[in-house]
Structure formats: structure tokens, C-alpha cells
Amino acid sequence: MQEGCVLCPRKCGVDRNIQRGACNAPCFPYVAKAALHMWEEPCISGKRGSGAIFFCGCNLKCVFCQNYDISNGSVGKMYDVEGIAELMLRLQGKGAHNVNLVSPAPFVPVLADAIRAAKNRGLSIPVVYNTNSYETLEALRMLDGLVDIYLPDLKYVSGAVSKKYSGTENYFEYAAPAVREMFRQTGLLELDGDGLANKGVIIRHLVLPGSVDETRLVLKYIAENFPKNITVSLMSQYVPCYKAEKIPPLNRKLLRREYERAVDYCLSLGLENAFIQKMDSAKREYTPVFDGKCD
């Protein structure tokens, strides 16, 4: 798929063995950081941390990207299949509750092989796929039976909003069926006796300043297309980053009343199995330093 790449909805057709695609990524991934990460949902981070592997490159162009320094460039070094498998096993050895693949979409074939290799070498903790959901069904089906937990964003419903803020008018056209496919593969969230996730889907949505109406559309879609006990993570952690610092209303933090409106609507739809954040979660220090280190 990466020779004349049609892996993601961009379908840029680039041979990523010799040049970068629309995702600004080559065939094999650069890893910006691999470490225990404490800032996911409690059932993902637990007490010891999620074994996060942050990949460089992204197929969206979000003006508010908090990881813009790695989504638009390469930090660290390139890893092949065996190298990524080794990172997974190293994180397991450090006590990670799971392996958390962050921004993995440009590398699905490589990661599918790496997961198999790691499992053959003794990987036994859950594999988490942490994605913006701008994915094709063909790519996601390569992961069927390999990924245990999906953490998909569902950012927008409206094409005009997704075009303005993430550079693609057809985001929802692909993200909606992608999240449904993730749910088909892994189902509702399942927790072990310690309250840690071992299987299932958590649908994430970041509430943006001035965009509560868009949030309502996203939540309405979830309520109408998934069981009411689907797990939703309604995030208040927005901080103006990257180009958003010069784009009103994205150049400010989310207001408490905006987030409270979003939470009230979520609950009114019967989506009561929801993670609700505190407003003080909107801090840049929760974003890792991407130094290429793989602890």
C-alpha cells in the first residue's frame, strides 16, 4: 500500500519508500519518544503508566495540533519492524499496563507486522491504537485481531469545520465508518479487576472553543449509532497551540460554561459512561517533550 500509497483517505499515491507522503512520513516510522505515559484516561494509564510510542507524521493538518513539532517533521530515529517490536517489549519490561501506539495511521502495515513479532517474542499486555480516525477500512482491517483497545478521536461532523481546522472536508466521511469498524473489532470497553482496560473502544472528543454546536453533532452521532453504554471521553484539555494562537476563537482556552454545556448534552443523550475532565487539565506540561528518547 505504501508504493503508490493509498493507505489513508488522502490517497496521495506517493511511493513512500523513496519520498514522503501527504502525511509527511516515509515508509518506516520515526519514533519521537517511547516512555511510560501517565496522562491518558485512568483505565489506560493506571498507576504505572501506558507504554506510549509517539510516531512522527500525520495525515491531518490541524491548526491547533499540540504535537505539531512531530506531526510536521521527524524527531528521533527511524525504526524497522523488529525495532518497533523491541520497543514494545522494553515498555512491557518497564511495567507498562499496555503498549500505546500514538498517531499510527501512516504505518499500519509496518505496525501490524511489529505487533505480530512482539507477540511471538512474549508481548502479553494489551495493544492500544491511539488515532485521529482519519483512516480507511482497508487499513483498519489489517489490525483485526492484533489491536485490543482503540482510542479514536471523533473530531467533527461538519465538513466546513473539518476543512477549516484540520485541512480536509471529508473527515467525517471516513472517521465515522472507521470508528464503527474499530467497535466491530473490539466492542465495548472491558476492565479487569484493577479497573484497567483490556479490550474495547473509548471514543474521544476534544471540545473546542466556540464549537459546542459541533460537539453536540458529534455526541448526537455517537448516541444514535452506538450502544448507550459506549465509553466516551469528553475532553476539556484544549490549549492554544501552533497556528491556533492567531485564529479566534481557537486562540483562547475553553470556557467552563462551554464545557459544562457539552457535558450536560452528553448526559441528556444517555451517554452516561463518560470520562469528564477537570478544567485544570488544559496545561501544556501534559504534552511530552519529544526528544527522540526511548527509555
How open is the CA angle 88-231-102, to the nearest 5 degrees? 30
- pLDDT tens figures, 125-136: 999 999 999 999
At residue 267, the 3 state secondary structure works out as helix
CATH topology of domain 30-286: TIM Barrel (3.20.20)
Strand partners, 190: 199
Average pLDDT over residues 256-261: 98
Find out whether 212 and 202 touch, Cβ atoms under 8 Å. no
First to last CA, the chain: 31
**Whole-number Å distance between alpha carbons of 150 and 231:** 11
Give the model confidence (pLDDT) of 94-140 as tens digits.
999 999 999 999 999 999 999 999 999 999 999 999 999 999 999 99
Residues 168-199 pLDDT 10s: 999 999 999 999 999 999 999 999 999 999 99
Give the pairing of strands 190-191 and 197-206.
Answer: antiparallel
Residue 81 has a CB neighbour count (10 Å cut-off) of 18
Coil/strand/helix, residue 199: strand
The per-residue pLDDT of the chain, averaged, comes to 96
At 287 the pLDDT is 75
Three-class DSSP category at 254: coil
The whole-number pLDDT of residue 282 equals: 64
- Residues 6 or more apart whose Cβ sits within 8 Å of residue 257: none
Q: What is the pLDDT of residue 294?
A: 77
Place of cell 501527504: 22
Q: Strand (E) positions, 85-148?
A: 99-102, 127-131
pLDDT, tens digit, 9 for 90 and up, residues 25-64: 999 999 999 999 999 999 999 999 999 999 999 999 999 9
pTM above 0.85, yes or no: yes
